[in-house]
Amino acid sequence: TWSAVPAGPPDAILGVTEAFKRDQDPRKINLGVGAYRDGNGKPFVLPSVKKAEEIISQSGDKEYLPITGLPEFTRRAALLAYGAESAPLKGNAVAVTQSISGTGALRIGGAFLARFYPHSKTIYLPTPTWGNHTPIFRDSGLEVKGYRYYDKKTVGLDFEGLKADLQSMPEKSIVLLHACAHNPTGVDPTQAQWIEISNIIKEKSLFPFFDMAYQGFASGSTSKDAFAVRHFVSEGHQVALCQSFAKNMGLYGERVGAFSLTTADPEEKARVESQLKIVIRPMYSNPPLHGARIASTILGSPELYSEWEGEVKGMAERIISMRDRLYDNLVAQKTPGEWGHIKSQIGMFSFTGLTTPQTKALAEKAHIYMTADGRISMAGLNAHNIDYFSESVSRAVKG
């Protein structure tokens, strides 16, 4: 029956972990997948999450959630993203549903827009973007195109190219924006640049679709990282927003996320929510319970909330300290090239500028694994392996 089914290629990111696992060298380092590791290279369960789980274990049944998820979770998730001052939130005009983490939010959003957005079936993604964006939106029924984002020469934002491409899109097209901590480049617009982007998007009546997978992880502050989303909303844009609690709460495998749309008023919100349910029901009926309870418990308790904020800040700061140390090492080792981007890039990743042959050499000779585009997950570095890593990179660049 399946003799005509061709073997598919492995996932570009998760395939790196497979290669890492096969390597037996004790010095091996996995900088492929974007998952936080503590100072000893171990997965990190946040203490606030453990406390929330203890609280949850005292009560609660295992009944199905409603189609749009745990109501107190979605309310608190929206508040975290949009902020207490948000006009649509205060006016009960945000349609929101729980989702199977950020990926599920993107898929619900893609499917909803493919069905109901009346003006366009094309979504523009930054070049490059997270590898899963293209198949998610294509499988949702949208046409996928790109806009300029990253400048190889400056290892920074191609702001002129970005603006020119926004200007030349057909009016009312959908534009995907990474709200903060752009994956894979680590290059974000400044606040002043976001303001300009918002203005162009308004002039051209484009539809901003935010993917916020790293709120709190970029700067250490959840409100600072929400700047772009909140600015757009305060400027009167109607937005779509995908949230993930995988990184900022370390809830990866629990699959906790939310999808929301700002609407004109409570009546429109109710209509939109009714159709979100119709999109979701045949996909998975209703979302998982446990992770949403954890996130909701943390967001709803002043003590756990402030503890969690400290923990997010701690993760962000450890990553930033690794950036400083890597930069200092590469410069001290007189590594050819300019390495300032290691420090200026934001979030979980650094787009090192290492070439595919160099990444290959690092895997084969030094047992160091990263994606072929030269992206490293900064969280995989720690005091024990950073000197070995810097020396190996330096050697690979010197050739």
Contact residues for ligand PLP, defined by CB under 6 A: 34, 101-103, 130, 178, 183, 211, 213, 244, 246, 257
In contact, 218 and 232? CB cutoff 8 Å: no
State the binding string over 51-80 for ligand TYF (x if CB under 6 A, else -): ------------------------------
Among 20, 124, 130, 227, interactor with ligand TYF by CB under 6 A: 130
- Chosen from ligand TYF, ligand PLP, none, partner binding at 101 (C-beta under 5 to 8 Å by type): ligand PLP
CA distance 20 to 225: 32
Among 34, 126, 186, 380, interactor with ligand TYF by CB under 6 A: 34
262-266: list long-range contacts, CB under 8 Å, 24+ apart.
Answer: 262/82, 262/88, 262/93, 262/94, 262/95, 262/233, 262/237, 262/238, 263/88, 263/93, 263/94, 263/95, 263/238, 264/93, 264/238, 265/91, 265/93, 266/91, 266/92, 266/93
14 contributes a contact to ligand TYF by CB under 6 A: yes
- In the complex, the smallest distance separating the C-beta of residue 32 from ligand TYF, rounded to whole angstroms, is 7
11 contributes a contact to ligand TYF by CB under 6 A: yes
Catalytic residues: 130, 211, 247
- Chosen from ligand PLP, ligand TYF, none, partner binding at 244 (C-beta under 5 to 8 Å by type): ligand PLP
CA distance 84 to 91: 11
- In the complex, the smallest distance separating the C-beta of residue 133 from ligand PLP, rounded to whole angstroms, is 7
- In the complex, the smallest distance separating the C-beta of residue 72 from ligand TYF, rounded to whole angstroms, is 27
For residue 250, is it left (φ>0), alpha (ψ between -120 and 50) or beta? Answer: left
18 contributes a contact to ligand TYF by CB under 6 A: no
In 3D, which of 320, 380, 345 has the Cα closest to residue 156? 345
Among all residues, whose Cβ is closest to ligand TYF?
34
In contact, 280 and 68? CB cutoff 8 Å: yes
The single residue listed with the structure tokens 């906790």 is 256
13 contributes a contact to ligand TYF by CB under 6 A: yes
Shorter beta-carbon distance to ligand TYF: residue 101 or 329: 101
In contact, 79 and 282? CB cutoff 8 Å: no
For residue 310, give the DSSP letter: H
Cα four-point dihedral sign 153, 156, 160, 165: positive
347 contributes a contact to ligand TYF by CB under 6 A: no
CA distance 328 to 311: 26
The overall longest dimension of the chain from CA atoms, in Å, is 64
- In the complex, the smallest distance separating the C-beta of residue 192 from ligand TYF, rounded to whole angstroms, is 28
Among 74, 86, 183, 185, interactor with ligand TYF by CB under 6 A: 183
Shorter beta-carbon distance to ligand TYF: residue 211 or 309: 211
Binding site for ligand TYF (CB under 6 A): 11, 13-14, 33-34, 130, 132, 183
